[in-house]
Chains A and B, each alone.
Chain A
Amino acid sequence: MTIQLLKGNEAIAEAAIRAGVEAYFGYPITPQTEVLEHMAKRMPELGRVFLQAESEVAVINMVYGAACTGARVMSSSSSPGISLMMEGISYIMGSQVPCVIVDVVRGGPGLGNIAPAQGDYFQIVKGGGHGDYQAIVLAPATVQEAIDLTCLSFDLAEKYRTLVFVLLDGSLGQMMEPAELPPMKPVNRARPAWALTGSGDRPRNIITSIYLVPEEGEAFNRRLQDKLQLIQQAEVRYTEYETRNADYLVVGFGTAGRVAQTAVKQARANGVRVGLFRPISLFPFPEKRLEELSRQVRAMLVVEMNAGQMVQDVRLAANGRVPVEFYGRMGGMVPFPDEVYEAIQRLSAASAA
């Protein structure tokens, strides 16, 4: 394989193609449109399904329908488009059909702007649609990681019959980096037993999210929760940098984590024993490891490109053992390493005092 200079959005699209995605449905929205455009060109070339729908509402329901057939299916969008998809996402989770949705987050709320942000954390990680569900959420920080996690997301979606989000921000979607694509996997046209295939040679399959009898609704919800527990046990992913002897811990995901790593290096060079913890799976959240680290360090700093969303989960993991401070930029602003470095200095100074 060869290392190429790849743009985040295009790398994700090509990675999905090589992972054997059979159908893509989408709608243009900046800063993810290159995914749609790449798919528009490549999918028909390969004899696969590409369709630009009339809205993200239609997109997610096309994904829902195609996912009911057991095919590998995906879409991509950016924050306002994902908001529109939330109804269908809830139905997909209530029907337990596998699919992958990429959210290239932009500044919000409302129309916001097309600059990079992480303000969708609550919407994506905590549910967003109605009812009790949580999707698996994978947050890459580099183009290579975006490729790898996109490929992984299909396997996880099928393994757990769930929706998997790949959550990144506009800067990662737009930036070019050297990365390596996986080899092409053929489309797997074998269908799981639960899928709708219109086949008359077996008892019919029904895919629905309705449970009119409350007792049945609760029993179904318990099964969903059991599945979430399995996911929490088996699918936690994170990376650490210089945490082994750290007195302080910076926590950030995606681009914010990457910016923070530069600041951590700078602080280390100036004698501050600080490490970085970057969650890769936002659900399941790596709370156990953070709990361990909260017994080791004196204070934590959470860096996000929002008003402070993941910080709530870090505080739950730390559970009052150490102060958990927050530094964030929002509305499309990306923090500079210097700003994070200053925040680390404030953290260590306050802790020393």
Chain B
Amino acid sequence: MDAPIQANEQLVYRRPSRLTDTITHYCPGCTHGVAHRLVAEVLDELELSDKTIGVAPVGCAVFAYNYLDFDFAEAAHGRAPAMATGIKRIYPDRIVFTYQGDGDLASIGMAEIVHAAGRGENITVIFINNAIYGMTGGQMAPTTLPGQKTTSSPNGRDVETMGLPFKMAEILGPMQGSAYVVRRSLHNVKEINRAKKAIRIAFQTQQAALGFSMVELLSSCPTNWGLSAPAALKWIEDHMLPYYPLGDYKTLPEVAALK
């Protein structure tokens, strides 16, 4: 709980209004918590917290609503963009976002995400890319890097038989309905600050009804990568950044004009 502020103290940092006071179930060093916090901070700052509906995925973030105190629906694996579409079509004036991992979004939910972007569905997607299936214990994902060892690619991802990883921001950015599609990373403070700005623009894009917005966030999975928390952040930098370049893959002029 928040301690009372003393006379000689100033409150400079606090939990966002819609981030719950809950013990986390995420592993030490996992960046889901950072991503959750950024979403809650941005929605507070934009004063959208009272009109937001979230859609949780299947994966480690299945209980996103334990931390994010909004009206929430729990989708079937990969189907969050379709579910969010149903909600948004009923309530065009509410803010509707999905929070999805890479197995959810880029594998089983590929059709739903591509068509949501194609329709220019006015929703925001927070896409956590950690190059692995986390909740099921570290299997190969569509985003697993070439040569990366997982429990279902014990000898490393063989691109001859499994193909190359999907680059979702590059796939969805060029789509006609996309208004704002970017990739950011959560591996250091500078990049976290940039990620927050992107999340802010994404929600503003939806607020201005400009179309589909997605922020892909390169994230850590120390447990399933078999690394310590600091080593996992370094692994993002050394291994994920070269394959998944950070950048803006679609910014409509109207989005660029947003303040």
Contact = CB atoms under 8 A, between A and B. Distances in A.
Contact of A55 (B83, B84, B111): B111
Contact of A66 (B55, B71, B86): B86
Contact of A65 (B56, B63, B84, B95): B84
A205 interface: yes
Contacts of B90: 22-23, 49, 66, 69, 71, 73
B94 interface: yes
Given A54-B111, A197-B91, A200-B50, A65 B71 contact: no
A61 B75 CA distance: 8
A196 B71 contact: yes
B86 to A, nearest CB: 3
A199 B55 CA distance: 15
B194 interface: no
A92 B168 CA distance: 29
Contacts of A71: 90
A3 to B, nearest CB: 34
Interface-central residue, B62, B73, B85, by most chain A CB under 10 Å: B73
B166 interface: no
Interface band, chain B = 20 to 34
B51 interface: yes
A105 interface: no
Contacts of B162: none
Given A23-B89, A69-B90, A62 B52 contact: no
B65 interface: yes
B115 interface: yes
A23 B91 CA distance: 11
Chain A residues touching B, majority SS: mixed
A65 B85 contact: yes
B79 interface: yes
Contacts of A88: 76, 79
Interface band, chain A = 35 or more
Contacts of A205: 71-72
A207 interface: yes
Contacts of B84: 65
B49 interface: yes
Interface of B: 49-53, 55-56, 62-63, 65, 69-76, 79, 82-87, 89-91, 94-96, 111-112, 115
Interface of A: 22-23, 25, 49, 51, 53-55, 57-59, 61-69, 71, 73, 87-88, 91, 95, 196-201, 204-210
6 smallest CB-CB distances across A and B, nearest first, come from A200-B50, A65-B86, A61-B82, A65-B83, A208-B74, A66-B86
Given A58-B79, A204-B69, A207-B72, 19 more contacts: A53-B82, A58-B112, A61-B75, A61-B76, A61-B82, A62-B89, A64-B86, A65-B87, A69-B86, A88-B76, A95-B73, A196-B72, A198-B91, A199-B51, A200-B50, A205-B71, A208-B72, A208-B74, A210-B62
